[in-house]
Structure 1
Amino acid sequence: MPKRTTAFVTFPIVALGAASILAVLISLLIGAREADDTALQRQRDTIEHAIDQHGLSLARELRVQTVWSEAFEQTRHKDTGWMRTFYGKYLSDLLGYDQIYVLAGNDAPVFGYAAAARADSDYGAIGAGLTDLLQAVRHPHLKPHYDVVVTDIAMPDGTVQHHVAVADARSIDGKPATVIVSTIVPDAGKPIATPDPPMLLVAVEDIDKGFTKRLGENFGFRELHWVATGTPAGDSSEAVKSDDGAPVGTLVWRKDQPGLQFIRHVAPGLGAALLLIGALTWFLVVWGKRKARQILQSEEHATTAARTDQLTDLPNRTGLHEEIAGLLEDRQRPVPVSLIMVDIDQFKAINDAFGAATGDAVLIGTAKRLRNLLPPGGIVARSDGDSFVMLAPRLTEAATSELASDIMTALAEPFDVGGASVIVAVSVGYAIGPRDGATGDELLRRAELAVDKAKGAITETAVAFAPEMDAEITYRHMLEMALRDAIAGGAIDVFYQPLVDVSGKRVLGVEALARWTDATLGPISPDIFIPLAEETGLIQSIGEHVLDRAIRDAKAWSGISVAVNVSASQIHHGDVVEVVRQALEASQFPAERLEIEITESVLLADEKRANEQMRGLQALGVKVALDDFGTGYSSLQYLRRFGFDKLKIDRSFLDGAGEPPESSVILASIIRLGQDLDLTIVAEGVETREQQRWLQAAGCDQLQGYLFSRPLPVAQMTEFIASRQIASAVAS
């Protein structure tokens, strides 16, 4: 064969061989690079996870030191000697913390300790950078992406203390550190009144020392060390940031190169086993593609699982937000989006009565019925444990209202679960975007406001969001803040309304009534701020204030009894007996001149607790009166079961006093019943002379109402009592 022909034949073969070898090398290099990148990403993920888990571990470790009644008492009393021994030295010397601080309820430092010589003022150098962590502990709902750990501590008095802790990596004094912020609460020992907000323990552990060494040894990071943020560190590094996005530092290590090591091992056999290498390359490419597909499928499955409720197979709250955003952000063709929220009322009662399996079956059945009602393009999601949301685009308001009514009708049908018929009640509210909200959060919030309004409605009907609902929430929040300020500033006043004998001439006692006039909002009715105080837990402070003030004022009124109202919250979430005992001891006020008035709502909530508190009050010598008699439930049973000293007839029964036939008959029966039980009978709301004369003839003991006096401040009540005493003396 001529050389030219040989060359012509050889050249393509050599070229093909060279191209094959080059292709193999390129494939190997690409695979090596991907392996190196994957290993590096795994190392970075491991570092991030290890730092997060280290913080959580420290937060759990400090739970023993912060859920502790002794620590709670000593820190509250600012016992720096105790804090130095049990927080400073113990946490520093034995557990390895570098800085320890105790903060008061206003976040001011009351104690500081460090392994190196420091002073309490050192907290000022780091405190500004920890504001977000303090906020995350005091208001976890404001920092949802922070890893806040909340532990419920059951107390002997039936209340639950919430222990809150958060940990994060921070740059402290230019060094990376783990910072733990934890509330200091009592454990399950004796009941202790906890301040609001609680005191905090702040612990700092440098992580550029032992932790970094252990991390490198445990996970095979070679020459792992920290460098300052901004220092060029190459590919094998991880920039660590705090939850608020601030830089903490950069970890650097010797990069593992599994791909390069692989090439070195197979390189000697490349020339002699070109076909084998080619086959292996082909196999590796196919295997790599298969693995990539598996990883992609796994990620898609994880993404789907993260946005899907596992019980009902509906989108969960995360998926719901994505769907709402997709519909609302269609700027090309904006369409109305109706968001209908469905809450199953008293779902816990279903679980308690039938079991969790039945409750799950009801949720699945609810999801199925809602799916059956879906309009074209609609979506059903399970937004919470017993809440569902239906998204329906392109519906008019009338169609939305009709769909909401259809939902209520469909869910009113009993659920057949294992032969048991389960009936559920639902509350339905809806909002329409973008009119009622331009974002998913706004639309959900306003639909929730409509649901809340539906829960309080007398009739079962779907409620549409209205702008005044937002105004009500804003006003309620403003009112709550103003009430807190009023309580803290002692702006809650106490007025008194007299209780007189049936002749109306002699004052026998007074009833203490809380009154509040805000500088901005003006006079606020007790019918508004007392229920608000009960909902927010402020009623305890108001009750104690009114009791102390009433006893102090009444000391000047010789022979006059004073009555103080006590709510169900004070009875069931506090110790009224102890509060009254301390108030009587502090004031030296005669117990027999004090009356505690309770309503039937107190007895309905927990009869046993109410009975214990009543007996305790009577053991002190205090009288107990049943107020607003006839407005609650099972009143006759309560009169027979509880040993009241006084019965106060609600003003609603006096409208027909002296007029035939029904009202007078009922009122007379109540008075005779009280006389038979040897109770002092008081009629409230007396406004006319005819009512007074009728009550006097019927045998009522005491009268109270505007006929005799409106509620008066202490000075005017003193004058009123004196004037009546003078009039009685002259008449006698």
Structure 2
Amino acid sequence: MFRAGLKSAFSIPCLECRQTGCGRRRAVGNSMQARVSVQQAKTDETAYYRREIHSRVVNFRKVTWLLALMVGCALGLMVVAVPLAYGLLDSPWLEVAGVATGGAGAFLLMGAAYIKRRVDVDMTRLIGDFKLAHARQDTDALTGAFVRNRFLADLSEAILRSRGEGGAVALLVFDVDHFKQINDGFGHPVGDAVLEFCVRCARKTFPGAVVGRMGGDEFAVFIEHDSPISVGYIDQACGEFLAGLREGFHIGHRRQTVSSSIGIAMSPGDATRADLLFGHADIALYEAKRAGRGTWRFFRPEILADKRQERFVERELRAAILMQELKVLYQPIVNSKGDLKSLEALVRWDHSSRGRINPNEFIPIAERSRLIHDLGMAVLRQVCMDMAGLPNVRVNVNVSARQLQLGHFKEDYIAILAEADVDPSRITLEITESSLLEASDVLKDRIGTLRDAGFSIALDDFGMGYSEFNQLRTLPFDIIKIDKSYTQSLGVDKVTDIFVSAVVSVATHLDRQVVAEGVETEADISRASAAGCGLFQGHLFDKPLTAEAVGRKYARPGSSPVTRASSAA
């Protein structure tokens, strides 16, 4: 009974028992055999062991006092028992008492030794299991890579060692290109298999390196060396890593290939702190994605200057939208006779200190910072305010694909038009070809509802995307705008001639209008007309004009043919 009670006192309920309350217990040494599949469970397990060790330490102190008391009693009994046993006292009955006292003392010493041994064994097992649970907490349950905190801690230690020994550390941060599409298209089991495959490839390509999962589909690898690490070695290793990912792996009856982008930062050259080094590698990763994905980029100090410039432009653009400092200019779109058919609204920004900022600079920043919808609505409001002084023609307004993804886009634009008492039929929404051709069915339906509301849809910069003629049958658009690179290559490149003729043929069959963009010379308009384009836009007719200038020059459509800009000059 004493043995059973001692065993119960120094055993730990399994994780399952603690979660379900089943009441069963198992030995400390077996407590780590249960598979814990989520990080929270591992954290709970480690915390449990911490509490158990604390309680065992408290109990150990109590047992120590018990052992001291038992040893003291045993020694006291032995001190009494020795003279009794050897007849140093005269009374005959005391010899029997001496033998009994000595036996009791020996039993107490043996009991104390047994208890101490059990305490030592159980504490050793408990501490071993705690270390194992702690190690399990430091690794990702799915991939086996270190979790973020452990990885950054090891990276910090590696940087400190390299600084003291004159070595170097290379940090590579990578993620899976289009991982959301993999998860959504093939399911989470395939997504999990892709993540595991990435870690296997990383360990194979960078033997001895530390691999960590930073969250989601983002991973990091650092390589520590006692001498500077060459850029050539990193280039070669990254190439091998991406090649290994492209080979893919079999899952079920098919092969799943993987693409990844990598950002690289080196210590001590780029940073001497783990958090800064990781931030720089993350910036380089973003540069790799901007370069087209499936590649790698090294961190450059110039990137930080670019980032500071981008933050400046974003902050100033936000203020310019709020203070209504943006201007809207209008460029004519005419027919072959020079009659005005529509206008394209173009936003311009004259900064108080930097002067005019190119739209090619601030519009991509607005896209990335999610200011693009605010910018689009600001332009539409200005167009509505200018409508009273403009000719009675449609006005083309550029729309970003990011705006179309917003569920409230249609309501926002219709509300602006209703407030200004402008009919949607006066507005054409220009959307780039790549945005439409990559659009989901939901997005195409949303564009269809915009057409139903009265808006016209123009397919802008056609030829710069995938140019899949088969999809033109299902795309909800009214106008195709041929990109200026094709317009200016007509008559020079035979492939361009064939391409533009095919586009015009398809548009004519679908009863769509075709606009040739970038018309700058008489030769451009002659060749575009010969190819079948019916509408034209470019500096040959007019540069972008203010609303007042447009109102003065074009009182009403068709009454004043557009004069060639070269002649007007």
TM-score range, shorter chain: 0.7 to 0.9
Q: Are positions 1:541 and 2:374 aligned together?
A: yes
**Conservation of the 8 A alpha-carbon contact between 2:437 and 2:471:** no
Q: Which residue of 1 aligns with 2:310?
A: 476
What are the Cα deviations for residues 362-402 of structure 1, in whole angstroms up to 9, with x where unaligned?
44444344334445x64333444432414231333333333
User: How far off is 1:292 after superposition?
Assistant: 3.4
Question: Equivalent residues in 2 for 1:115-514 (5 A)?
Answer: 259=62, 270=73, 275-330=106-161, 331-352=163-184, 355-374=187-206, 378-386=209-217, 387-393=219-225, 394=227, 395-417=229-251, 420-458=254-292, 460-504=294-338, 506-514=339-347
Residue 619 and residue 429 in structure 1: after superposition, are their counterparts in 2 closer, same or farther (change >3 A)? closer
User: How far off is 1:622 after superposition?
Assistant: 3.1
**Structure-1 separation of matches of 2:197 and 2:527:** 60
SS of 1:555 mapped into structure 2 = helix
Which residue type is aligned with residue 402 of structure 2? S
**Conservation of the 8 A alpha-carbon contact between 2:391 and 2:557:** no
SS of 1:332 mapped into structure 2 = helix
User: How far off is 1:662 after superposition?
Assistant: 4.3
User: How far off is 1:520 after superposition?
Assistant: 4.1
SS of 2:332 mapped into structure 1 = strand
SS of 2:303 mapped into structure 1 = helix
Q: Which residue of 1 aligns with 2:16?
A: none
**Structure-2 separation of matches of 1:643 and 1:374:** 49
| Residue 709 of structure 1, aligned match among 542, 553, 559 | 542
User: How far off is 1:494 after superposition?
Assistant: 1.5
Instruction: Choose between structure 1 and 2: higher strand proportion.
Output: 1
**Conservation of the 8 A alpha-carbon contact between 1:378 and 1:390:** yes
Residue 630 and residue 384 in structure 1: after superposition, are their counterparts in 2 closer, same or farther (change >3 A)? same
SS of 1:411 mapped into structure 2 = helix
**Structure-2 separation of matches of 1:353 and 1:362:** 13
**Structure-2 separation of matches of 1:657 and 1:418:** 50
Residue 577 and residue 304 in structure 1: after superposition, are their counterparts in 2 closer, same or farther (change >3 A)? closer
Which residue type is aligned with residue 416 of structure 2? A
| Residue 674 of structure 1, aligned match among 507, 527, 532 | 507
**Structure-2 separation of matches of 1:383 and 1:424:** 18
Alpha-carbon RMSD across the aligned residues, in angstroms, is 3.7
Q: Which residue of 2 aligns with 1:568?
A: 401
Q: Percent identity?
A: 31
**Structure-2 separation of matches of 1:526 and 1:543:** 13
Residue 390 and residue 532 in structure 1: after superposition, are their counterparts in 2 closer, same or farther (change >3 A)? same
**Structure-1 separation of matches of 2:434 and 2:424:** 25
Which residue type is aligned with residue 344 of structure 2? E
What are the Cα deviations for residues 338-379 of structure 1, in whole angstroms up to 9, with x where unaligned?
22334333344445555544544444444344334445x643
**Conservation of the 8 A alpha-carbon contact between 2:516 and 2:535:** yes
SS of 1:685 mapped into structure 2 = coil
Q: Which residue of 2 aligns with 1:604?
A: 437
Which has the greater radius of gyration? 2
**Conservation of the 8 A alpha-carbon contact between 1:337 and 1:391:** yes
Instruction: Choose between structure 1 and 2: higher helix proportion.
Output: 2
**Structure-2 separation of matches of 1:678 and 1:364:** 52
**Structure-1 separation of matches of 2:185 and 2:454:** 43
Q: Which residue of 1 aligns with 2:21?
A: none
What are the Cα deviations for residues 184-203 of structure 1, in whole angstroms up to 9, with x where unaligned?
xxxxxxxxxxxxxxxxxxxx
Which runs of 5 or more structure 1 residues have no equivalent in the other structure? 1-255
What are the Cα deviations for residues 602-660 of structure 1, in whole angstroms up to 9, with x where unaligned?
43344533443344333333333222233333553344224533332222221134557
Which residue type is aligned with residue 536 of structure 1? S
What are the Cα deviations for residues 167-198 of structure 1, in whole angstroms up to 9, with x where unaligned?
xxxxxxxxxxxxxxxxxxxxxxxxxxxxxxxx
Q: Which residue of 2 aligns with 1:528?
A: 361
**Conservation of the 8 A alpha-carbon contact between 2:484 and 2:519:** yes
**Structure-2 separation of matches of 1:294 and 1:684:** 78
SS of 1:503 mapped into structure 2 = coil
SS of 1:380 mapped into structure 2 = strand
**Structure-1 separation of matches of 2:506 and 2:185:** 39
**Structure-1 separation of matches of 2:235 and 2:528:** 53
Residue 492 and residue 638 in structure 1: after superposition, are their counterparts in 2 closer, same or farther (change >3 A)? farther
Which residue type is aligned with residue 291 of structure 2? A
**Structure-2 separation of matches of 1:700 and 1:279:** 106
Which residue type is aligned with residue 434 of structure 2? S
| Residue 688 of structure 1, aligned match among 505, 516, 521 | 521
**Conservation of the 8 A alpha-carbon contact between 1:500 and 1:507:** yes
Q: Are positions 1:631 and 2:464 aligned together?
A: yes
**Conservation of the 8 A alpha-carbon contact between 1:431 and 1:464:** yes
Q: Which residue of 1 aligns with 2:51?
A: none
Greater RCO, CA 8 A, separation 6+: 2
**Structure-2 separation of matches of 1:661 and 1:411:** 39
User: How far off is 1:468 after superposition?
Assistant: 2.0
**Conservation of the 8 A alpha-carbon contact between 2:366 and 2:372:** yes
Which residue type is aligned with residue 613 of structure 1? R
Residue 322 and residue 634 in structure 1: after superposition, are their counterparts in 2 closer, same or farther (change >3 A)? same
**Conservation of the 8 A alpha-carbon contact between 1:374 and 1:392:** no
